[in-house]
Structure 1
Amino acid sequence: MSDTEEATGSQATSKHKLVDTITDLELAWVAPESRGIASTITAQDPRFFTIVEGVGPVNWEVHMPAEGERICSPYTEGGFTMYEMAFKEMGFRLPFNNLEAEIFGRLKVAPSQLHPNSLAFIRAYQILCRYLEVEATVSLFFYIFKIQRQKVGDQQGWISLKHQSSKIFKMFVESARGFKERYYVVKPVTEFALNSLYMDRPVFLEDGSPQLDEEGEQVTEWSLRFPLSWSSEHFLLRTNEYLTAGEDLSPAEMAGFEKLKVYVDGFKPCKVITSLGDVALDKHGKPRIEPRFVNTRLLLSCKTVSAEDTLLGIHFNSCPFFTLFYIQHF
């Protein structure tokens, strides 16, 4: 499966009966799947993962959505929905760092509006940039990735990110079945946590000029860094309007992109191995050889910076860590 494909439609919902109980007319633009899948997580679930922040004082709490509430629903008291796998398998922790919050803010979306593969790209991008000593900027991120929307008729579903020209990362999961029904609400319970969702934003007049106070200083307002619930505002712009053109990258950002690209271009191609352990053959009966990319899932499974560096440092000589498996999808 290519990085432009993700599980949608009947494949993704075959185990679930969609029950659209949402009556909020402001959510009429949301596609049926997002409106219909209730969270299956319960407090008694032995798999329930509740670690959403680092060690230290408790600033966030996890709550189950009430009956009739969905992934796209608005929640009170600064609460917003997140997929369990974002914390359990991808290593996200609250509060979001500046880059993560800026990406959500630039896209004008709640975090759960992004397909989990896209959330994984955000984490993997930061880790690889740190390792290669490249500044991880929002502009560079949106030069590497472009946007794909899941539209059902005139309604909108999840938003995905895919590579533009040079592929760097493998998808976190090939088939994303199972994530859509495992979500919960995270709520700030301290002033610190609540404040992390806001920022001072400059105010501009209708003509685009900055609004100044009586002393000639820029007027700012305390506003959310990104939407907390699913927002249709994202769709007011074309997908390419969120991206960064090459001429808009700084020299340092372009140099950083080239460094990322050279790193991945240095990977040794690998033979494709089937799920049974056999070498896959191409149409000519010869061993199938494919290029390698950063194994996003394996990278995000690392628990320490040292483990990340070790994994990223062995790509030239150790093919098994990046072995490609050919797995048939039904």
Structure 2
Amino acid sequence: MARKFIRVLPEIIPESCKWVDSDVLGAKSVVGDEFVESFYEHYSSCVSDVEGSRYRVVAPDPEDCVCHVDLESESCIFVYEAIFTKVGIRIPFTEFEIEVLKGCEVTPSQIHPNSWGFIRGFEVICREFGIPTSLGVFHHLFKLTKPFSKEKQQWLSFWANQNMKVFEMLEESVRDFKCLYFKVVAQPVTSPFWVDGEGEYQFPLSWNETWVNPQVSREELSESELLFVDMLSDCWGKKPHLQTRQLLTQSSTYIQKEILGVMSGKSSIYDKFKSHLLSKLKKPTNVVRTASGSSKPTSSDQSIPTSSAVADSSSARNASATPSP
């Protein structure tokens, strides 16, 4: 069901957000208690883990703005509904997702939902190959950009670096996401995942005007990373590219049959890559290469939960069902 975009500029715009476009500032959330209740009915796994529900998604307050968190009064993040229902992101974020936000110095809502599809798709393809989830490879494939036609900043997007297009966009247009966002808060006695062990924020909680576009050259990649990049480019550097939507919605069996199976006969680099993995990675574990060169374990075994319908504050909205791997 299409929604009418509600555009109401706040009476007071925080000084730190004067540079933000009015389409962002004026996107008043239509998420209410009924919407949240329906979300939990169909997507509860998005905010639960093996330790139970340590976080809650709640309806934003009337004065809330998606691009600003008043750190003097609360610690929370804003996230768009689309990154749960269309992409399969879950709370808490994986270490890789946190490192992407940290490296780019942005908050979750500053990245367009379509680009969250690239982040998740990259995690999935790394999981299917059983290789480390490398920030170096990700930033070698993608660059972070803002809309060039806008005087003030809107949502940032990841685009393929020159001659490095491997993934197709999640959707041509993610509709109606602007006014559908939640506030994510930690349950009592829970240390929020956006705060590190020293009490510092791992990434900004408000939109950042001075965001960063990390770039990694071939010379900075390891032998394993170079082989992986060359294999992806060899197989999907030309159309048809990897279908991000299928990566996020199809079962692991489907991916292995339709992607890994095809690759073994298509890519001349595949056998070399496979032999290298067997010699270097006896027990492959997904890790994140941080800026300091250290590694952290990360879980990318997520999928988009099966859904039926999610209601907004006035009526139910149909959401397409997607099979869980």
TM-score, normalised to structure 2, is: 0.70
Q: Tell me how far apart the structure 2 counterparts of residues 39 and 135 of structure 1 sit (CA, whole Å).
A: 37
1:72-111 deviations in Å (ceiling 9; x for gaps):
1215543111011111221111111111100000000001
Asked if residue 43 in structure 1 is aligned to residue 33 in structure 2, the reply is yes
Q: 1:45 to 1:99 in 2, by over 3 A?
A: closer
Q: Tell me how far apart the structure 1 counterparts of residues 262 and 9 of structure 2 sit (CA, whole Å).
A: 47
Give the AA of the match of 2:63: G
Q: Tell me how far apart the structure 2 counterparts of residues 89 and 14 of structure 1 sit (CA, whole Å).
A: 17
Q: Tell me how far apart the structure 2 counterparts of residues 174 and 106 of structure 1 sit (CA, whole Å).
A: 26
Asked if residue 294 in structure 1 is aligned to residue 242 in structure 2, the reply is yes
Deviation at 1:123, TM superposition (A): 0.4
Q: Which residue of 2 aligns with 1:127?
A: 124
Deviation at 1:306, TM superposition (A): 3.9
Q: Which residue of 1 aligns with 2:54?
A: 59
- More strand by proportion, 1 or 2? 1
Give the AA of the match of 2:68: S
Q: Which residue of 2 aligns with 1:19?
A: 8
Q: Which residue of 1 aligns with 2:140?
A: 143
1:271-301 deviations in Å (ceiling 9; x for gaps):
xxxxxxxxxxxxxxxxxxxx21111112211
Check the 8 A contact 1:60/1:190 in 2, yes or no: no
* Cα RMSD for the two superposed structures: 2.7
- More helix by proportion, 1 or 2? 2
- Bigger shift: 100-109 or 42-51? 42-51
Deviation at 1:39, TM superposition (A): 1.2
Q: Which residue of 2 aligns with 1:176?
A: 174
Check the 8 A contact 1:169/1:294 in 2, yes or no: yes
Q: 1:178 to 1:315 in 2, by over 3 A?
A: farther
Deviation at 1:252, TM superposition (A): 2.1
Choose between structure 1 and 2 for higher RCO, CA contacts under 8 A separated by at least 6 residues: 2
Q: Tell me how far apart the structure 1 counterparts of residues 149 and 182 of structure 2 sit (CA, whole Å).
A: 24
Asked if residue 198 in structure 1 is aligned to residue 195 in structure 2, the reply is yes
* 1:184 counterpart SS class: strand
1:288-325 deviations in Å (ceiling 9; x for gaps):
xxx211111122113x54454345346579xxxxxxxx
Deviation at 1:246, TM superposition (A): 1.9
Q: Which residue of 2 aligns with 1:167?
A: 165
Q: Tell me how far apart the structure 2 counterparts of residues 41 and 315 of structure 1 sit (CA, whole Å).
A: 43
Give the AA of the match of 1:74: V
Asked if residue 312 in structure 1 is aligned to residue 301 in structure 2, the reply is no
Q: Tell me how far apart the structure 1 counterparts of residues 49 and 144 of structure 2 sit (CA, whole Å).
A: 34
Deviation at 1:41, TM superposition (A): 2.0
Give the AA of the match of 1:259: M
1:235-294 deviations in Å (ceiling 9; x for gaps):
xx5x4xx211222222221122112223325x8xxxxxxxxxxxxxxxxxxxxxxx2111
Aligned length: 254
Check the 8 A contact 2:107/2:206 in 1, yes or no: yes
Q: Which residue of 2 aligns with 1:69?
A: 64
Q: 1:308 to 1:193 in 2, by over 3 A?
A: farther
Point out the structure with max Rg over C-alpha.
1
- Bigger shift: 120-129 or 71-80? 71-80
Give the AA of the match of 1:299: L
Deviation at 1:155, TM superposition (A): 2.2
Check the 8 A contact 1:91/1:300 in 2, yes or no: yes
Check the 8 A contact 2:54/2:187 in 1, yes or no: yes
Q: 1:307 to 1:244 in 2, by over 3 A?
A: same
Percent of counterpart pairs with the same letter? 26
